[in-house]
Amino acid sequence: MNVVDRFLSYTKFDTQSDELTNMTPSTPGQMIFAQALQKELGQIGMTEISLDENGYLMASLPANTNKEVPVIGFIAHLDTSPDLSGHNVSPRIVKNYDGGYITLCAEENTVLSPEDFPELKKYIGEDLIVTNGKTLLGADDKAGIAEIISAMDYLIQHPEIKHGKIRIAFTPDEEIGKGAHKFNVKNFGAKWAYTLDGGEIGELEYENFNAAIAKITFKGRNVHPGYAKHKMINSIRIANQYAIMLPRWETPEHTEGYEGFYHLIGFEGSVEKTVLTYIIRDHDRDRFERRKKELEHLSRKINHEFPDCASIEITDQYYNMREMVEPVMHIVDTAAEAMKEAGIVPNVRPVRGGTDGAQLSFKGLPCPNIFAGGHNFHGRYEFIPINSMNKATDVIVNIAKITAQK
């Protein structure tokens, strides 16, 4: 089975994660998918296959050289985003893309156009896998899984390519920030690893956001509006006052590159009680800490005007893996060399998000991120060029080969 056939078969599994269940994995579809992959890994000849009760699937490809080679790993995640349905995904292949509009769903007039998504123009003449306009595709991260397994299958079928021991792992619940929470780094046993969870071809990332989530609760006091003067405290209005005190341009829609932001992701309230939920992101650790302090400062300002109205709870989610990867930068250099051997120009860039690799790096497993090849993740306009998937598979094989040579 080639990488495309694998990927298309994997999209049939509904593996959306759900942060409200408080279970691991958070949805049963992830375990069903993991069990199917467990069987496939045995069929292609992988060893030391294990699937634990939390949905973490691990396996080994034994070394085929007598040289002393570090154990390396490759990791992808089982779940797809809760942002859009992953049920009844019906992908199709657009052959020899001509640079024009791609109608995803005629009845709903859902069109993938180069005007809205100019990156399409990079893939004129290539075959693309697209959605039916009603669900996400799931290339994040089923493409990564397909690429890892295809690379392992290729190495098994080509023993002339010498490599050390390779460990692979597929994790649940990455999309809700819990993919690495119960990952057993000691049992995995790799010196370092790579997540296959990046976007377009060439992406190589060893920097990500520092991340936190903040919930600010505003207490109000409801009184009949006809008799409310000097009595009512409207928590919705106060919450709105708080929101507009934050810098207007430091939001996702106004930032790029290394620029951080405050992102209001939830606003729920009534006169009596309103809760704002923010995510805080910044690559620089000092600026990240200052952003958290700014939210606390604004809460105090609100309380100065409306005593005991605002309370804030901030929880760190993950940190920038750069500080853990920089001491072992040779692992990034190896990935860059592997891309060049595959005819790819490495695009080393910061992740404007996070990966399992960020948390794993702080658990003692340095873990840069490599492209899986997809675009427009988490939505109906998601697509992936087939050539990008083939190239990602080549990069994995090349990393194994180069690591053994060095």
Catalytic residue among 14, 40, 174, 356: 174
Catalytic residue among 14, 40, 79, 140: 79
Q: Is 40 considered catalytic here?
A: no
Cβ-contact 383, 129 below 8 angstroms: yes
Q: What is the pTM of this model?
A: 0.88
Structure tokens at 64: 């085929």
Instruction: For the chain, 406 residues long, give each residue's pLDDT as a single digit of tens.
Output: 899 999 999 999 999 999 899 999 999 999 999 999 999 999 999 999 999 999 999 999 999 999 999 999 999 999 999 988 999 999 999 999 999 999 999 999 999 999 999 999 999 999 999 999 999 999 999 999 999 999 999 999 999 999 999 999 999 999 988 888 899 999 999 999 999 998 999 999 999 999 999 999 999 999 999 999 999 999 999 999 999 999 999 999 999 999 999 999 999 999 999 999 999 999 999 999 999 999 999 999 999 999 999 999 999 988 999 999 999 999 999 999 999 999 999 999 888 887 788 889 999 999 999 999 999 998 999 999 999 999 999 999 999 999 999 8
Cβ-contact 197, 369 below 8 angstroms: yes
Please return the burial class of 276, using the count of CB atoms within 10 Å of its CB with bins 0-12, 13-18 and 19+. Answer: buried
DSSP states of 157-222: H-TTS----EEEEEES-GGGT-TTTT--HHHH--SEEEEEEE-STTEEE----EEEEEEEEEE-B-
What is the reported pLDDT for 177? 82
**Nearest 10 degrees: CA dihedral of 162, 165, 166, 169?**
160
Angle of helix 139-157 versus helix 386-405 axis, rounded to 10: 50
Shortest CA distance to 168 belongs to which of 182, 183, 178? 183
CA 201 to chain centre: 16
Q: Is 394 considered catalytic here?
A: no
**Nearest 10 degrees: CA dihedral of 47, 176, 316, 300?**
180
What is the reported pLDDT for 134? 94
- Give the CATH architecture of domain 211-318: 2-Layer Sandwich (3.30)
Shortest CA distance to 309 belongs to which of 238, 229, 224, 231? 238
DSSP states of 348-386: E---SS--HHHHHHHTT----EEE---BSTTSTT-EEEH
DSSP 8-state symbol, 19: T
Residue 113 and residue 102: Cα distance in Å, rounded?
6
What is the reported pLDDT for 198? 87
Residue with token string 């792992």: 169
Cβ-contact 395, 338 below 8 angstroms: yes
Residue 56 and residue 37: Cα distance in Å, rounded?
11
The third-level CATH classification (topology) of the domain covering 3-207+320-405 is Aminopeptidase (3.40.630)
Residue 334 and residue 356: Cα distance in Å, rounded?
20
Shortest CA distance to 145 belongs to which of 80, 51, 42, 76? 76
Q: Where are the domains positioned within the chain?
A: 3-207+320-405, 211-318
Which phi-psi region, left, alpha or beta, contains residue 393 (left: φ > 0; alpha: ψ -120 to 50)?
alpha
**Nearest 10 degrees: CA dihedral of 219, 221, 226, 227?**
-140
